[in-house]
Structure 1
Amino acid sequence: MAAPWNGQPLWWLQLLSLAALVWQLDALRPVGGDASAAGPRPRPWRAAGLLGWVFATAWLFGTFWWLFISMHTYGGLPAPLAAVAVFALAAALSLYYALGCALYVAFAPAGSLRAAAFFAALWTLAELLRGSWFTGFPWGAGGYAHVEGPLAVYAPWVGVYGIGAIAAGIATLVPLAMRHARGRAFALPVGLALVLFGVPALIALARGVPADDAARSRGRITVALLQGNIPQDEKFIPGGGIATALQWYGAQLRDADAPLVITPETALPLLPSQLPPGYLDAIAARYASGTQAAIVGLPMGDGRSYSNAVLGFRPGEAAPYRYEKHHLVPFGEFIPGLFRWFTDMMNIPLGDFRSGGLAQAPFVWLGQRIAPNICYEDLFGDEIGANFRSAEEAPTVLLNVSNIAWFGDSIAIDQHLAISRMRALEFQRPMVRATNTGATVVIDHRGRVTHELPRLTRGVLKAEVEGRGGRTPFAVWVSRFGLWPLWGLALAVVAATLALRRRPG
Structure 2
Amino acid sequence: MPAVMFLSVVALVFLFRYSPRPMHAAAVGWGFAVGYFMHGWTWLLSPFMVDAERYAWMAPFALVLLCGGLALYWGLAFGIARWLSPRSWPLIILLPTAELLRGYLFTGFPWGMFSQGLVNLWPGQGLAVIGPYGMTLLFVGLAVACARPASGLFVRRAGMYALWGVAAVLLIVPFSRSEAALTDFTIRMVQPNAAQKDKWDPTKIPEFFDRQLAFTSAPPAPGSRQPDLILWSETAIAWPLDLAQGALDYISVAAEGKPVVLGVQRRTETQFYNSAILLG
TM-score (norm 2): 0.81
- Which amino acid counterpart does residue 233 of structure 1 have in structure 2? K
Partner SS state of residue 202, structure 2: coil
- Which amino acid counterpart does residue 34 of structure 2 have in structure 1? T
Task: Tell me if the contact between 2:214 and 2:254 (Cα under 8 Å) persists in the aligned partners.
Answer: no
1:459 matched residue in structure 2 = none
* Cα separation, 1, equivalents of 2:170 and 2:214: 52
* Cα separation, 2, equivalents of 1:305 and 1:107: 40
1:317 matched residue in structure 2 = none
CA shift in 2, pair 1:78/1:264, >3 Å: closer
Query: What displacement does 1:143 show?
Result: 1.2
* Cα separation, 2, equivalents of 1:203 and 1:65: 26
1:238 matched residue in structure 2 = 202
* Cα separation, 2, equivalents of 1:68 and 1:199: 33
Structure 2 stretches lacking a partner, 5+ long: 221-225
Alignment of 1:35-434 (within 5 A): 44-71=21-48, 73-74=50-51, 76-77=54-55, 79=57, 81-108=58-85, 115-116=88-89, 118-178=90-150, 181-192=152-163, 194-195=165-166, 198=169, 221-240=185-204, 242-255=205-218, 257-271=226-240, 279-287=247-255, 289=257, 292-299=258-265, 308-314=274-280
- Which amino acid counterpart does residue 259 of structure 1 have in structure 2? D
Task: Tell me if the contact between 1:294 and 1:313 (Cα under 8 Å) persists in the aligned partners.
Answer: yes
- Which amino acid counterpart does residue 208 of structure 2 have in structure 1? A
Task: Tell me if the contact between 1:51 and 1:98 (Cα under 8 Å) persists in the aligned partners.
Answer: yes
Task: Tell me if the contact between 1:260 and 1:293 (Cα under 8 Å) persists in the aligned partners.
Answer: yes
Query: What displacement does 1:296 show?
Result: 2.4
* Cα separation, 1, equivalents of 2:210 and 2:263: 15
- Which amino acid counterpart does residue 91 of structure 1 have in structure 2? G
Query: What displacement does 1:288 show?
Result: 6.4
Task: Tell me if the contact between 2:44 and 2:63 (Cα under 8 Å) persists in the aligned partners.
Answer: yes
Query: What displacement does 1:149 show?
Result: 2.9
Decide which of 4, 16, 22 is 1:25's aligned counterpart. Answer: 16
CA deviations on 1:99-150 (whole Å, 9 max, x unpaired) are: 222223333365xxxx44x322222111111111111111111112212234
Task: Tell me if the contact between 1:287 and 1:313 (Cα under 8 Å) persists in the aligned partners.
Answer: no
- Which amino acid counterpart does residue 66 of structure 2 have in structure 1? L
Query: What displacement does 1:175 show?
Result: 2.3
CA deviations on 1:417-436 (whole Å, 9 max, x unpaired) are: xxxxxxxxxxxxxxxxxxxx
Between the two structures, name the one with larger relative contact order (CA 8 Å, sep ≥ 6). Answer: 1
Decide which structure has greater helix share: 2
* Cα separation, 1, equivalents of 2:4 and 2:171: 19
CA deviations on 1:82-115 (whole Å, 9 max, x unpaired) are: 31222111011111111222223333365xxxx4
Query: What displacement does 1:163 show?
Result: 2.3
Task: Tell me if the contact between 2:232 and 2:262 (Cα under 8 Å) persists in the aligned partners.
Answer: yes
Task: Tell me if the contact between 1:52 and 1:97 (Cα under 8 Å) persists in the aligned partners.
Answer: yes
- Which amino acid counterpart does residue 283 of structure 1 have in structure 2? I
Task: Tell me if the contact between 1:71 and 1:82 (Cα under 8 Å) persists in the aligned partners.
Answer: yes
My pick for the range that moved more, 159-168 or 122-131, is: 159-168
Task: Tell me if the contact between 1:100 and 1:126 (Cα under 8 Å) persists in the aligned partners.
Answer: yes
* Cα separation, 1, equivalents of 2:105 and 2:227: 42
CA shift in 2, pair 1:163/1:193, >3 Å: farther
Task: Tell me if the contact between 1:153 and 1:200 (Cα under 8 Å) persists in the aligned partners.
Answer: no
Task: Tell me if the contact between 1:300 and 1:306 (Cα under 8 Å) persists in the aligned partners.
Answer: yes
* Cα separation, 2, equivalents of 1:83 and 1:172: 33
Query: What displacement does 1:285 show?
Result: 3.6
CA shift in 2, pair 1:304/1:229, >3 Å: same
CA deviations on 1:338-384 (whole Å, 9 max, x unpaired) are: xxxxxxxxxxxxxxxxxxxxxxxxxxxxxxxxxxxxxxxxxxxxxxx
* Cα separation, 2, equivalents of 1:69 and 1:234: 13
* Cα separation, 1, equivalents of 2:242 and 2:17: 62
* Cα separation, 2, equivalents of 1:54 and 1:250: 50
Structure 1 stretches lacking a partner, 5+ long: 1-9, 30-43, 315-505
TM-score (norm 1): 0.47
* Cα separation, 2, equivalents of 1:125 and 1:188: 28
* Cα separation, 2, equivalents of 1:311 and 1:64: 29
- Which amino acid counterpart does residue 252 of structure 2 have in structure 1? A
Task: Tell me if the contact between 1:266 and 1:297 (Cα under 8 Å) persists in the aligned partners.
Answer: yes
Query: What displacement does 1:152 show?
Result: 2.2
Query: What displacement does 1:203 show?
Result: 12
Decide which structure has greater strand share: 1
Partner SS state of residue 55, structure 2: coil
Task: Tell me if the contact between 2:49 and 2:197 (Cα under 8 Å) persists in the aligned partners.
Answer: no
- Which amino acid counterpart does residue 211 of structure 2 have in structure 1? W
Query: What displacement does 1:53 show?
Result: 0.6
Task: Tell me if the contact between 1:236 and 1:269 (Cα under 8 Å) persists in the aligned partners.
Answer: yes
Query: What displacement does 1:160 show?
Result: 2.4
Partner SS state of residue 66, structure 1: helix
Report the identity percentage: 23
Task: Tell me if the contact between 1:226 and 1:261 (Cα under 8 Å) persists in the aligned partners.
Answer: yes
